[in-house]
Amino acid sequence: MKFLKRPQLILVLSAFVTVFCRCSLFPGTPVTLSLADGNSIECLEFFENDPNWSNLYNSSYTYDCSITCPDGSLASIKAMRLPNGSFTTYVEGEIVELELALLQEQYCALPTTATEPATEAPAPPLSAGESQVTSIPFLTGKITACDYKAGFINFERADADQEYSRENLQVALNQQTVDCGVPNNNLDVLSCDLPAGVRFPINVQVQVAQVQVNDFSFDGAFCGYKDPGSADGNSTDENGGSGGVPACDPHLDPNCSVDCSNPANVDLCH
């Protein structure tokens, strides 16, 4: 009974043993802390003592806990004190004035924001005479068919076996991007739309995967193109000659006038 009359001595002895065990062998008391937001966390409860042994009331209970972070990883909390008071020990069923989200903000690593790669815009066609061919040509520079009225022009491909896709192929006529494709029944040619109102001569630029592979000019021969600025109905080049052919066909129209001295009209004069 005399032993029970000395409660302070009991507490001092208990504190000495607890601190000694906290630093060496004692693993702590497992507890489940119920948080104010309805979540709970698993912890180990320890008794921490004033290292100077001067004031027992400076002692407190601390908790080593493990929390789940938003990314699914685990974060450790060491020597956490409860907000209720310095000497407070947790009693099962009590609500601790803490929230899991606040603990996550404090102890979890900040999430890394994935940066999506910027989508590169298609390279604009270079001005005529400014581009530099840096890869294997896609076209030979030869035109196999052209019809101004029907609105198409066919180019000969340099290699019919060369792989390509419509997505990475860009063709520009006089700086205007046009739609092109390779016919399934003739892989040797690339057929493109002629833009409405296009005037000859035209500059042809081809890019494959944004790399310039062709840059050449075509004078409009055998396209049936009529230069709106020419009085005789023919397109005229800078040397005064006929750069194209009349919009008519002498084989079908006996009144069609053709300049047979122009090599471009050789097919229409025979």
Give the three-state DSSP class for 11. helix
Per-residue tokens: 57: 């009331």
Q: What is the pLDDT along the chain (270 residues), one digit of tens a residue?
A: 444 444 443 444 444 444 434 544 577 889 999 998 999 999 999 887 655 555 555 567 888 999 999 998 999 999 888 886 556 678 887 888 889 999 999 999 876 555 555 555 555 555 544 445 557 899 999 999 999 889 999 999 999 988 888 889 999 999 999 999 999 899 999 999 999 888 999 999 999 998 999 999 999 888 887 777 665 554 433 333 334 444 455 555 565 655 665 555 555 565
Per the DSSP assignment, residues forming a β-bridge with 156 are: 189
Count CB atoms within 10 A of the CB of residue 243.
21
Phi, psi dihedrals of residue 212, rounded to the nearest 5°: -70, 125
Count CB atoms within 10 A of the CB of residue 183.
11
Give the three-state DSSP class for 186. coil
The Cα–Cα gap between 114 and 28 comes to: 40
What pLDDT is attached to residue 215? 95
Per-residue tokens: 269: 């004069």
CA 156 from centroid of its chain's CA atoms: 35
Residue corresponding to tokens 């009085």: 231
